[in-house]
């Protein structure tokens, strides 16, 4: 069984993330959307809210699991028998950053990283942009799945 982890903070999940996950499901038997917990980072949404946004967005897809984890992604992979890390690339800067991480991960464990290019229509979307739109009372709904709603 081919299992992949799609790690990130997903603060919040965007349509770009959604696109990568949806396409990843076609390549793998299971995609684990794994929300990394970083104690030194300040999040807009709680871990529970982020998990619920993702679970609700993919409630129709049984091949997707949503979890949270602490520590190195490769350690999570080894502990959970995951062979692949799924990552999305928006631009050349993403590629350079992700390439260094992929090489490091492969040095630490026998884990392959699979890169998917984001769809052109979502390539400009980043969680940091979405958070800025939300903070400034803009229409964030065009940037995120319907499951992401602020009360």
The answer as to whether 149 is a domain residue is no
How confident is the prediction along the chain (151 residues), in pLDDT tens digits per residue?
A: 899 999 999 999 999 999 999 999 999 999 999 999 987 889 999 999 999 999 999 999 999 999 999 999 999 999 999 999 999 999 888 899 999 999 999 999 999 999 999 999 999 999 999 999 999 999 999 999 999 988 7
- Catalytic residue flag (residue 127): yes
- Catalytic residue flag (residue 87): no
Torsion of CA 14, 22, 37, 136, to 10 degrees: 10
The answer as to whether 150 is a domain residue is no
Read off the CATH number of the domain in which 100 is found: 3.40.50.620
How far apart are alpha carbons 15 and 144 in whole angstroms? Answer: 5
The answer as to whether 72 is a domain residue is yes
The answer as to whether 57 is a domain residue is yes
- Catalytic residue flag (residue 41): yes
Of the residues 26, 40, 41, 42, only one is catalytic, namely 41
DSSP string, 73-85: HHHHHHHTT--EE
Tell me whether the omega of the peptide bond preceding residue 69 falls within 30 degrees of 0, making it cis. no
Q: Which domain holds residue 88?
A: 3-142
The answer as to whether 132 is a domain residue is yes
Name the pairing type of β-strands 30-37 and 112-117.
unpaired
Question: What are the helix (H) ranges across the chain?
Answer: 15-24, 47-57, 73-79, 92-108, 127-135
The answer as to whether 151 is a domain residue is no
SS3 call for 124: coil
Of the residues 3, 23, 63, 90, only one is catalytic, namely 90
How far apart are alpha carbons 106 and 75 in whole angstroms? Answer: 12
Can you give the pTM of this predicted structure?
0.94
The answer as to whether 148 is a domain residue is no
Domain count along the chain:
1
Residue linked to tokens 């609700």: 56
The answer as to whether 147 is a domain residue is no
């Amino acid at each position: 069984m081919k299992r992949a982890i799609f790690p990130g903070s997903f603060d919040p999940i965007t349509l770009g993330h959604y696109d990568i996950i949806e396409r990843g499901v076609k390549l793998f038997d299971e995609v684990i959307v794994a929300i990394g917990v970083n104690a030194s980072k300040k999040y807009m949404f709680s871990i529970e809210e982020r998990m619920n946004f993702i679970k609700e967005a993919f409630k129709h897809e049984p091949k997707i699991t949503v979890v949270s984890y602490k520590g190195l992604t490769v350690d999570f992979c080894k502990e959970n028998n995951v062979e692949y890390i799924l990552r999305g690339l928006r631009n050349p800067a993403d590629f350079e950053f992700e390439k260094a991480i992929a090489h490091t991960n492969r040095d630490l464990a026998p884990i392959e990283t699979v890169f998917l290019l984001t769809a052109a229509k979502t390539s400009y979307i980043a969680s940091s942009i979405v958070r800025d739109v939300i903070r400034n009372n803009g229409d964030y709904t065009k940037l995120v799945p319907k499951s992401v709603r602020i009360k």
